[in-house]
Amino acid sequence: MRLDLCTWPDVEHYLRHKTHIIVPIGSTEQHGPNGLIGTDAICAQTLARSLGERLEVLVTPTLAIGMAQHHMAFPGTLTLRPETLLAVVRDVVESLGRHGFTHCYFVNGHGGNIPVVEAAFSAVYAGASLGSGDPSPPRCRLANWWRLPTVAELARRLYGEAEGWHATVSEVSLSWHAHPEAARDVPMQPPVAPTGPIFDARAFRRRFPDGRMGSNPSLASAEDGARFHEVAVAALAEDFQTFVVQA
Ligand code: NI
């Protein structure tokens, strides 16, 4: 159920029966020596589309560029400033609200988006609370697929500590499940990357020279990706139902 493949009468018809919508959001940023630049957007998109099929809920086009300033010392990364991403998310939610969508369920693929997207939701609600925006804006939820308990548990079981924090084994696997032709064998040294705090792009590259944080994505496989896909879609479906019942 893709919004971009609907006509406006299709959407008008949908809104007579249902007012929920799924919004995939990712990032376009380096993912280490074997991970695709589009990993976060690819993961969010494949999960969101499968979720939309399962629940018969519309899915918007993927917001594929996120807040990735700390990856800018690696070529190919694109970033929005935090305030730009906040404005984009707010405008998307308010656009959906104008058409009568009441529940916006964001499927997120990138940790760096979390504080900004949550702030954007607050900005939408503040418009209602302060009387300057839509008095009854859509309810929003941000679902971070890799943090879903069953997904995190599967990653722990398969990879232990080598799952890591960025260019993780699970996300590389899931992106290869979506694009099996992208799978590749790349030797990594050290096998498990260092960990530490994140500041600006230059500091990030100094501390994490090949782009990985704490992970060993040479363990990734499209087969594992299929397992993550199945577990994540099931967990998202449950989380979605809780959201629409509570909100
Ligand atoms: Ni990622």
Distance 195 CA to ligand 1 centre (A): 15
Q: Could you tell me if 100 and 15 are in contact, meaning their C-beta atoms sit under 8 angstroms apart?
A: yes
Contact 155, 147 (CB under 8 A): no
Ligand 1 center from residue 68 Cα (angstroms): 10
Cα-to-centroid distance, 191 and ligand 1 (Å): 18
If you measure from the C-alpha of residue 128 to the centroid of ligand 1, how many angstroms do you get, rounded to a whole number? 33
How many A from CA of 35 to the centre of ligand 1?
9
* Residue 95: count of CB within 10 angstroms of its CB: 12
The answer to whether the CB of 29 falls within 8 A of the CB of 65 is no
d(CA 247, CA 245): 6
Domain boundaries, the chain: 3-237
Q: Which residue spans within 37-192 are E strands per DSSP?
A: 58-59, 103-108, 139-144
Nearest to 150 by CA among 236, 45, 219: 236
- Whole-number Å distance, alpha carbon 90 to ligand 1 midpoint, is 23
Q: At 78, which amino acid appears?
A: L
**Superfamily name with CATH number, domain 3-237:** Creatininase (3.40.50.10310)
User: Does residue 190 have a cis bond before it (omega within 30 degrees)?
Assistant: yes
What are residue 199's phi and psi, to 5 degrees?
-125, -115
Question: How many angstroms separate the alpha carbon of residue 139 from the centre of ligand 1?
Answer: 26
Q: Rounded to 5 degrees, what are φ and ψ at 238?
A: -65, -45
**Residue 166 CA, ligand 1 centroid: distance in Å:** 6
- What pLDDT is recorded for position 247? 85
CA distance linking residue 78 with residue 47, whole number of Å: 22
pLDDT < 70 regions, the chain:
none
* Distance (Å, whole) CA 85 – CA 88: 5
Calculate how far, in angstroms, residue 76's C-alpha sits from the geometric centre of ligand 1: 14
